[in-house]
Amino acid sequence: MKNIEWSKLTFGYSKTDYNIRCYYRDGKWGELEISSSENIPLHMAATSLHYGQEAFEGLKAFCGKDNKIRVFRWEENHQRMVNSAQGILMPEVPKEIFWGACKKVIELNRDYVPPYGHGASFYLRPLLIGTGAQVGVKAANEYLFMVFGVPVGPYFKEGFKPVNIQIVRDADRAAPLGTGVYKVGGNYAASLSSGERAHKEGFSAALYLDAKEKKYIDECGPANFFGIKNNTYVTPLSTSILPSITNKSLMVLAEDMGLKVERRPIPVTELSEFSECGACGTAAVISPIGKIVDSQNDGKEYVFSKDGKAGSISTQLYERLLGIQYGEMEDKFKWNTLVD
Ligand code: PLP
Ligand code: COI
């Protein structure tokens, strides 16, 4: 076991011992290779560098009280990476290569997987990049798929405490028929400056609206949005947001708890009707939202928590999700894959 202060971990990069790589050349995937280097030798004309031909994923492995390691819904992440690859003309990573690499990274870095009881997990970052050289705007003919892992703590420093969010009106993250549904780097580049401004102005994340009408809620920095009202879990239906696996899971859990679930466009004006709101994602888990400020529109404020505490439905969803992930509750929907 490594000498790491597990409870103090934040969501950041740290070195582990090994990562796994697999090259696509001459129209086929090679074998999984183990590497102990943090660097990638890359052609200066690689399409990933110039034309953003790259996609990534994020999924977590959890160590339970029983010391077993469970990976949450990796097949969903695999499918989303296949969709991203199709979206920007990259070869699909076969399922067995995707899982083989994830599993190996966990096994080879077993000592970096946070032990049970510290609120930490092992975050896997699969990455698919165009490595072949092009100068014209074209897809590469060579690719690298790799997976590395890092022990992580909460994405927002608040943990499971309400965060404040800023609505962005002078920038868009993704266009209605653009790449927002894919997990590709360009979407994140487009969010950097508004995200940074939100942080500088004291907010945890930026809330993006639909690019066409600026009327509906899209998503919340690196996470999907949900609101609760009248015993209903409401989450945006949009062609420019990432289909979150956490959100998909929360919809199932909400229904299981007896809530109604609605997936539909959510007008910003409806914010005043929600009793609870949250941001959800692999990194963010559930971050309850305390306040949303429409800074560029008269500074209107929507307040969901006045006492610094999460609402009861968000809390129950959070406990159920983590309960399953850490193996403390029955894995009723067969979401976990055991590694050990
Ligand atoms: N939206 C964006 C833009 C994200 O980067 C993420 C993180 O992956 C999510 C939503 C949440 O998706 P998931 O729950 O699959 O992690
Ligand atoms: C995730 O939740 O896995 C993400 O990818 C979010 C992020 C840090 C980009």
pLDDT at 21 over 90: yes
Answer whether 0.95 is exceeded by the pTM. Answer: yes
Give the distance (Å) from ligand 1 centre to CA of residue 220: 9
Residues of the chain with CATH 3.20.10.10: 163-325
Cβ 243 under 6 angstroms from ligand 2? no
CA angle 117/123/125 to nearest 5° reads 175
Residue 157: pLDDT band by 50, 70, 90 thresholds? confident
CB atoms within 10 A of CB 285: 24
Minimum CA distance residue for ligand 2 atom 9 = 222
| Residues annotated as catalytic (active site), given as ranges | 183
What number is the average pLDDT over the span 189-209?
97
For 94-115, the pLDDT digits (tens) are: 999 999 999 999 999 999 999 9
Q: How far apart are CA 321 and CA 70, in angstroms?
A: 13
Rounded to an integer, the average pLDDT of 84-96 is 98
Distance 242 CA to ligand 2 centre (A): 11
* CB 283 near ligand 2, within 6 Å: yes
- Nearest 5°: the CA angle 267, 193, 175 is 45
Please return the burial class of 137, using the count of CB atoms within 10 Å of its CB with bins 0-12, 13-18 and 19+. exposed
Q: Tell me how far apart the alpha carbons of residues 285 and 154 are, in angstroms, rounded to a whole number.
A: 8
Q: What are the backbone angles phi and psi of residue 198, rounded to the nearest 5°?
A: -55, -45
Percent of the chain with pLDDT over 70: 100
CA of 94 to the centre of ligand 1 (A): 22
Domain with CATH 3.30.470.10 in the chain: 6-152
Residue whose CA lies nearest to ligand 1 atom number 3:
222
Q: Report domain 6-152's class.
A: alpha beta
Residue 315: count of CB within 10 angstroms of its CB: 15
Question: Residue 306: is its pLDDT beyond 90?
Answer: no
Ligand 2 contact via 154 beta carbon (within 6 Å): no
Burial label, 42 (beta-carbon count in 10 A; 0-12, 13-18, 19+): middle
For residues 306-310, average pLDDT: 91
CA 224 to chain CA centroid, nearest Å: 9
Does the structural domain 163-325 have CATH classification 3.40.50.12780? no
- For the cut 80, the answer to whether the pLDDT of residue 285 exceeds it is yes
Q: Among 11, 245, 282, say which to mutate for ligand 1: greatest number of ligand atoms within 8 Å of CB.
A: 282
250 CB near ligand 1 (under 6 Å): no
Secondary structure of residue 198 in the 3-state scheme: helix
For range 300-315, the mean pLDDT: 94
